[in-house]
Amino acid sequence: MKIAVSATGPGLDAEVDPRFGRCQCFTIVDPQTMESEALDNSNAMAAGGAGISTAQMIAGKGVEVVLTGNCGPNAYQTLSAAGVQVITGVSGKIKDAIEAYKAGKLQPNAQPSVGSHYGMGGGMGAGMGMGRGMGKGRGRGRGRGTGLGPGPGAGPGIMPQALSPDQEIEMLKSQAQILGQQLNEIQRRLEALEKGR
């Protein structure tokens, strides 16, 4: 059996990326042996259709279950059509998510957890077009919006019925942590560039 987890980086100690279609990479895990394989998500910077393309890629890997933070309708339908179970609302370390799944603590969704274009956010245009090009030649211009609207409750993108308040808080904290890391990375790069004046 193979489980695909949207990940912020390779390895079982990486965090679950709250996005499915535009996550940095996937970790494919055999829950019996806990052997894992990292898979770059080449669709993270796609102009459109990232959810479907990513879902097709994952289904093509023979994955039976996807663990992620959120999954939009296109990706959800594609995965479901391929017989892949989708479990959203997952956060924390990948190994903990796998253990929770094995313990029966995670249940498959009956519907997508977010609306279309979740995870594209305000940075999408610039991110796609230019990439951040930060260090080591890594193109990093992926969308990183949270889908949160300005008003109370969830804004465009999030359909909170799938999450309890505690789950949403946990997911938001996880997102904030990831964004904080990205911000630190950007600030480091900015400092390096500014010193190079």
Partner 1 sequence: MGADPYAPQMTREQELDFLRNQAEAIKEELDQIDGRIRELETE
Query: Could you list the residues that contact partner 1 (CB under 8 A)?
Result: 24-25, 40, 45, 121-123, 126-127, 129-134, 136-141, 144-146, 148-150, 152-154, 165, 168-169, 172-173, 175-176, 179-180, 182-183, 186-187, 189-190, 193-194, 196
Amino acid identity of residue 182, one-letter, is Q
Minimum CB distance to partner 1 smaller for 105 or for 195: 195
Minimum CB distance to partner 1 smaller for 103 or for 136: 136
* Nearest approach, Cβ of residue 85 and partner 1 (Å): 27
Amino acid identity of residue 162, one-letter, is A
- Write the DSSP string, 77-114: HHHHHTT-EEE-S--SBHHHHHHHHHTT-----SS-SB
Residue 66 token pair? 């996807």
* Nearest approach, Cβ of residue 32 and partner 1 (Å): 28
Minimum CB distance to partner 1 smaller for 4 or for 154: 154
Determine the distance from the C-alpha atom of residue 133 to the mean position of all C-alpha atoms in its chain, rounded to a whole number.
20
Secondary structure letter of residue 39 according to DSSP: E
Q: Where are the beta strands (DSSP E) in the chain?
A: 3-7, 25-30, 35-40, 65-67, 85-87
Minimum CB distance to partner 1 smaller for 105 or for 136: 136
Minimum CB distance to partner 1 smaller for 63 or for 172: 172
Is residue 175 packed enough to be buried (19+ CB in 10 Å), middle (13-18) or exposed (0-12)? buried
* Nearest approach, Cβ of residue 45 and partner 1 (Å): 7
Amino acid identity of residue 100, one-letter, is A
* Nearest approach, Cβ of residue 126 and partner 1 (Å): 6
Residue 77 token pair? 């339908």
* Nearest approach, Cβ of residue 125 and partner 1 (Å): 10
